[in-house]
Amino acid sequence: MKRIPIETAAPYEVVAGENILKDAGAYMRAAGVAARKAFIVSDDVVLPLYGGAVRASLLAAGFQPYTLAFEHGEEHKNLATIEKILSTLCAAEITRSDVLVALGGGVVGDVCGFAAAIYLRGVKFVQIPTTLLAAVDSSVGGKTGVDLPAGKNLAGAFHQPALVLCDTAVLSALPEKLFSEGMAEAIKYGVIGNAAFFAALEEGRADTETVVETSVRAKAAVVKKDEFDTGERMLLNFGHTFGHAIEKLSGFTVSHGEGVAAGMLFACRYAEKIGFSEEKDITVRLKNALARYRLPAECPFTGAELFPAMAHDKKRAGDKINLILPKRIGRAEICPTPMETVKEVLSEL
């Protein structure tokens, strides 16, 4: 079992181990969650699989459990779902001394976390990620939010969980497609800051526990320095600026992991195009690593098509946008770039 400290204004741990889901309630008590009521927020796919075990563990630990499941999928990561959750919390008379439990993938974690951030101006919540993507990335660091018609994650708040509980047995049992999507975020950590980790992923030498631990420790180090995403933490957006545009243009038929994979490739091609990249075969290496995990090796849209979808990206500041571009495998940099320059370069890609 691994315990990884996350050092933020409200510190907490990521606990990762095999078959620990059944003891979720006990881990919550050990983490100092003294609530009486525990409200599980999940989706209609995950709750039937794992809701029973989590609910039983909460009862055994002395919590009074409640559950709510919304429809799965990115299209339901919106303010309508938030309103439904908030109304249900009111009906259950959840108070500030109670706790929410996000049981599911990245969408569930983002939605539940945002509801926790704004309900009664803030209540505790716990992340129990059930996808690799959520375990290595979105469950850690306190970013919560929902999508607006103009783009992804445009309404949100920073709200750190009280605990992240990651059962590696659940992750190992994922369908191949869902596991692959999580590997896109793991590969991201290799490109931006850990060449040795990238090589291990490139060669298929990293097991699930290593992938989770290495990724979470990498994110923890960045979040410790920049909790509120004003500087170095922007590096974690590598592949996401282009990837979110790809997701939006596809009507979210392209998943987040697939979008990040294609977005990372686009960022590498962009870096090569402007002469920023120092590693001449960086795109080839990334493409081969993505192919190993059956992730997209091409972007389904042209640069000219992507540009309008990037106009409302939250990383834009005035007439510039912060692109995250790779120098080489193991190093990326934040590049404030005029939107007009981005448009010109994208028109040629």
Q: Looking at residue 302, which CATH number applies to its domain?
A: 1.20.1090.10
Within this chain, do residues 198 and 282 fall inside the same structural domain, yes or no? yes
Q: What does the angle CA 333 – CA 283 – CA 275 come to, to the nearest 5 degrees? A: 55
- Residue range(s) defining the domain that contains residue 12: 2-172
Is 128 in the same domain as 263?
no
**Same domain for 136 and 186?**
no
Query: Do 62 and 166 lie in a common domain?
Result: yes
pLDDT at 314: 75
How would DSSP label each residue in 20-45? -GGGHHHHHHHTT---SEEEEEEETT
Rounded to 5°, angle at Cα 266 from 261 and 272: 130
Domain identity same for 11 and 131: yes
Q: Are residues 181 and 164 in the same domain?
A: no
Neighbouring-strand partners of residue 325: 333
Domains held by the chain: number? 2
Whole-number pLDDT of residue 265: 95
Among residues 141, 172, 203, the one where a domain terminates is 172
Mark which of 150, 172, 194 sits at the end of a domain: 172
Chunked mean pLDDT (size 10), the chain, 349 residues: 95 97 98 97 98 98 98 97 98 98 98 98 98 97 96 95 97 94 97 97 93 97 95 95 94 94 95 94 95 90 91 82 96 96 92
Domain's final residue, options 138, 153, 172: 172
Which residues have CB under 8 Å from 324's CB, separation 6+? Answer: 192, 234, 235, 237, 238, 239, 240, 241, 267, 332, 333, 334, 335
Cα separation, 296 vs 254, in Å, equals 10
Q: Which of 145, 300, 142, 310 is nearest to 236 (CA)?
A: 142
What CA–CA distances, in Å, run from 169 to 19, 132, 177? 6, 11, 17
Q: What is the largest CA-CA distance in the chain?
A: 61
253 and 281, same domain (yes or no): yes
DSSP state at residue 131: S
Q: Tokens at residue 322, please?
A: 């912060």
Check whether residue 40 and residue 69 sit in a common domain.
yes
- pLDDT at site 280: 86
Kindly state whether residues 148 and 257 are assigned to the same domain: no
- Of residues 328, 252, 333, 268, the one with CA closest to residue 75: 252
Which pLDDT does position 349 carry in this prediction?
86
What is the C-alpha to C-alpha distance for residues 138 and 129, in angstroms, rounded to an integer? Answer: 9
Are 326 and 198 members of one domain?
Answer: yes
Look at the block and give the residue holding tokens 């990884």: 4
Q: Quickly tell me which residue has 């919390």 as its tokens.
A: 89
Query: What would the 3-class secondary structure string for 143-210 be?
Result: EEEEEECCEEEEEEEECCCCEEEEEHHHHHCCCHHHHHHHHHHHHHHHHHHCHHHHHHHHCCCCCHHH
For the domain that residue 106 is a member of, what is the CATH number?
3.40.50.1970
DSSP 126: E
19 with 144, same domain: the answer is yes
**Angstrom distance (rounded) from CA 97 to CA 115:** 15
Same domain, 55 and 197: no
